[in-house]
Amino acid sequence: MTTPKTLNRLSLLTTMLTVILACGLTTTSCSNYDEPSSPQDEVEAQLSKMTLREKVGQMFYIRMESLDTTIHWNTYTDLQENPLFEVNQTMRDVNKRYPVGGLILYAWNIDDEAQLATLMSQIRSLNGQPLLCIDEEGGRVARIANNPNFNVKKYESMGAIGATGDAYNAYECGNTIGTYLRRYGFDIDFAPVADVNTNPENVVIGPRAFSDDPAVAAPMVTNYLQGLKDAGVTGCIKHFPGHGDTKTDTHFGYASTQKTWAEMMDCEMVTFKAGIQWGCQLIMTAHIAAPNVTGSDVPSTMSPIILQDKLRGELGYQNIIITDAMEMGAITQQYSSAEAAVGSIQAGVDIVLGPKNLVEAFDAVIAAVNNGTISEERINQSVRRILKLKMK
């Protein structure tokens, strides 16, 4: 005999079965409850909760000394002679108002493994959840490998690796460097150099480049990137649109290339296009002028023709554009920290690296948004790219 209680149970089971079948047969409302949000949705959700200062902060990657407003320096020797090895209270206080998206460590910030471990932990606690960055190319630019207190593999140069003609050697180099960088806690390595060293008088690139032949350099660049990626570190190709055909050093002043865009497409762009097709997440700009491309002596870092028309437009690059250090002479001899930060963002840069004066640069970008010189949507475009990288 069927009782009312039994009927109620049957009715409930029937209802549950109907719902289960409906969810199984449709791909809309029922299934959405269990579907994870997409990375883009997560980016937009995070972006919507951020203040303007937090957004702008993500666009600044700085040296440690930039947060210590008691430090005043004119040359790199000043920093080397008074090394900063820890996050102090002044830095924490400044950071409360000036959140930053990343910090880059230099050789004089690194003493030994114990000190580095403590420093990395201190940096991780800073406002802005900064990523940890370093220039560890291998060869003469290697902040850790060239420190005698670290027992890691050293490389003669990328030029020596390129001379072997075997791209696997570039992979092994990138993977080895990436492995110890990951172990020490770094997120980004500003390497490899994608320049093609075609000028024998070049004083700043030289053997940092894999070759003077783009056909040799291109596979070296992509294999090095893959080696870093497989070790869990993000690489950055540099210095766009190519620093290999210059005679002077942008650390100290004006530098230029006289090449036309057609000439660059046959040489420098071979390696950068290879890196873009591989999927590189960051491209670093050069502070060199390219008057036969832009029609002016403006540094490429500040040129919308180079960054928007050429890099994003013609080459189709959609990921992060980061400047070379903005404290370098090629920038500071022509622009204030405020002018350089605002101008580079207007040109198409996503991350301003190493402004000479962080407070001045940061405040200038905030003011530019508030007065309409830069739209907040322009800021959002860059922050979306940065948040996407951070989520990886």
Q: What angle separates helix 376-391 from helix 337-347, to the nearest 10 degrees?
A: 80
Distance CA 134, CA 150 (A): 15
Give the per-residue pLDDT at 55.
Answer: 98
- β-strand 141-142 against 136-138: which pairing, if any? antiparallel
Give the per-residue pLDDT at 79.
Answer: 87
Among residues 58, 47, 228, which one has the least CA distance to residue 130?
A: 58
Residue 62, SS3 per DSSP = strand
Distance CA 167, CA 189 (A): 19
pTM of the model: 0.89
Give the per-residue pLDDT at 203.
Answer: 53
Distance of CA 327 to the CA centre of its chain: 17
Among residues 152, 71, 78, which one has the least CA distance to residue 108?
A: 78
- Domains of the chain and any CATH numbers: 54-391 (3.20.20.300)
Q: Are 155 and 145 in contact (CB under 8 A)?
A: yes
pLDDT in tens, the chain (392 residues): 444 434 344 443 344 444 333 334 333 333 333 455 688 899 999 999 999 999 999 999 999 999 999 999 888 888 888 899 999 999 999 999 999 999 999 999 999 999 999 999 999 999 999 999 999 999 999 999 999 999 999 999 999 999 999 999 999 999 999 999 999 999 999 999 999 988 766 657 889 999 999 999 999 999 999 999 999 999 999 999 987 666 555 665 678 899 999 999 999 999 999 999 999 999 999 999 999 999 999 999 999 999 999 999 999 999 999 999 999 988 999 999 999 999 999 999 999 999 999 999 999 999 999 999 999 999 999 999 999 999 98
Give the per-residue pLDDT at 30.
Answer: 35
Distance CA 344, CA 342 (A): 6
Q: In which region does residue 167 sit, left (phi positive, over 0), alpha (psi from -120 to 50) or beta (all else)?
A: alpha
H/E element holding 340?
A: helix 337-347
Among residues 210, 217, 157, 191, which one has the least CA distance to residue 284?
A: 191
